[in-house]
Amino acid sequence: MYKKFILELSSSSESYNVTFDILETPIAQKWATEVSKNYPLYETDRFQGWNPNLTLEHFETALLAQIDIVNKYKPNTVNIEQNLFDQQHLNYLHRFFEELRGEASVGTEFFNSAPGNVQQAIEKFNVLIHECEHHMRDQAIPTIIGTFKDRPRIDLADADYDEFTFQWQFGCVYINYCEVGKPLLDVYKDQDTNIPIDAVRPLKYYSADFMLKFGPNVPEQQYQARLKDFWNWYSNTDYNFDKNRLALGYIPVAQLSYKDNQFLEMSNLEIINQITQYNKLKSVLVK
């Protein structure tokens, strides 16, 4: 059984290890088994909410630059309505990513035939949409997303769906969304009326990819109220997904070890201040 998940973070001058206790659930152990296979890291700098000096305009400018790369390759491929983005405009733009990128393991004719810099722009386009959304909604919540090259996606078992939650916990590691599309919870949060039904994809896979959140613990009462509101919203949509496979939120797989990291005497804010000195993912290890 795997017990520890260790992230090696780095800055320009030094490295820093952060240790997490891997949960004993079957899906957490299956995830750890995938991480143990040492797939090369793909995204190593997706540190959202890490730099309080970055503004929404910074991410909007970067997003427009990626759109410009795509449009220079094929004019008018992505039609923007405005240069400053609210949530509904981001919803509108996300449809272009889905239509250009296609299913993760297949791709579209456009994506597969595009040169490497355009493919990178399309994928960065998606990342920056989420950066804008994160800044608008959760800019105070530091988050790390780690992904791997050429890692497989494996079907979730029926029992794994019981582990999905959006009752976030400080320092918790979750399996990242490894699909091209939009999960139902995000459609609900964004009140996305632009997305076609076939682009709404509750997660049905797991992979080694992960998301780490350093936001505050969500109280049970708040979680239940949000869940009730979600079901009220869902009942008024045309979606007809299997209610046992809605995959609401993410699956927790590991939890920050206060003892191993010598965090026992530190507040959550002090822990954040310690960790946010490092802004690159250097390596991962399970043992």
In a domain, 180, yes or no: no
The whole-number pLDDT of residue 141 equals 85
Q: Are 68 and 142 in contact (CB under 8 A)?
A: no
The secondary structure of residue 106, as a DSSP letter, is T
The whole-number pLDDT of residue 84 equals 58
Lookup result for tokens 């405005």: 82
Direct distance between the N- and C-terminal alpha carbons of the chain, in angstroms, rounded to an integer: 8
Q: Are 78 and 93 in contact (CB under 8 A)?
A: yes
Q: Which H/E stretch holds residue 132?
A: helix 116-138
In a domain, 82, yes or no: yes
Number of structural domains found in the chain: 1
In a domain, 101, yes or no: yes
Q: What is the per-residue pLDDT across 171-189, written as a single tens digit (0 to 9) for each?
A: 999 999 999 889 999 999 9
Nearest to 34 by CA among 249, 209, 247, 251: 209
Inter-CA distances, 215 with 124, 251, 268, Å: 24, 16, 9
Tell me how far apart the 2 most distant CA atoms of the chain are, in Å.
57
In a domain, 187, yes or no: no
What whole-number distance in Å separates Cα of residue 49 and Cα of residue 276? 9
Return mean pLDDT, the chain. Answer: 91
Length of the chain measured in residues? 287
* Domain encompassing residue 79: 53-138
pLDDT-based confidence at residue 252 (cuts at 50, 70, 90): very high
What whole-number distance in Å separates Cα of residue 272 and Cα of residue 256? 12
Nearest to 251 by CA among 42, 61, 27: 27
Three-state DSSP at 215 gives coil
171 dihedral zone (left: phi>0; alpha: psi -120 to 50; beta): left
Average pLDDT over residues 227-247: 95
Q: Are 166 and 249 in contact (CB under 8 A)?
A: yes
The whole-number pLDDT of residue 202 equals 96
Given a cut of 70, whether residue 267 has pLDDT beyond it is yes
Given a cut of 70, whether residue 122 has pLDDT beyond it is yes
Q: Percentage of the chain surpassing pLDDT 70?
A: 97
In a domain, 11, yes or no: no
Q: Are 49 and 142 in contact (CB under 8 A)?
A: yes
The whole-number pLDDT of residue 117 equals 93
In a domain, 68, yes or no: yes
Given a cut of 90, whether residue 13 has pLDDT beyond it is no
Beta strands in the chain (DSSP E): 4-10, 15-22, 46-48, 143-146, 154-155, 172-175, 205-206, 210-213, 252-256, 280-286
The whole-number pLDDT of residue 139 equals 59
Angle between helices 87-101 and 116-138 (to 10 degrees): 150
Inter-CA distances, 261 with 16, 47, 48, 266, 274, Å: 10, 20, 22, 10, 11
Between strands 143-146 and 205-206, the pairing is unpaired
Q: Are 252 and 28 in contact (CB under 8 A)?
A: yes
The whole-number pLDDT of residue 73 equals 92
In a domain, 96, yes or no: yes
pLDDT-based confidence at residue 82 (cuts at 50, 70, 90): low
More confident residue, 159 or 108: 159
In a domain, 165, yes or no: no
| Token couple for 260 | 């191993």
Query: What does pTM read for this prediction?
Result: 0.84
* 76-85, 161-170, 199-208, 230-239: the lowest-pLDDT one: 76-85
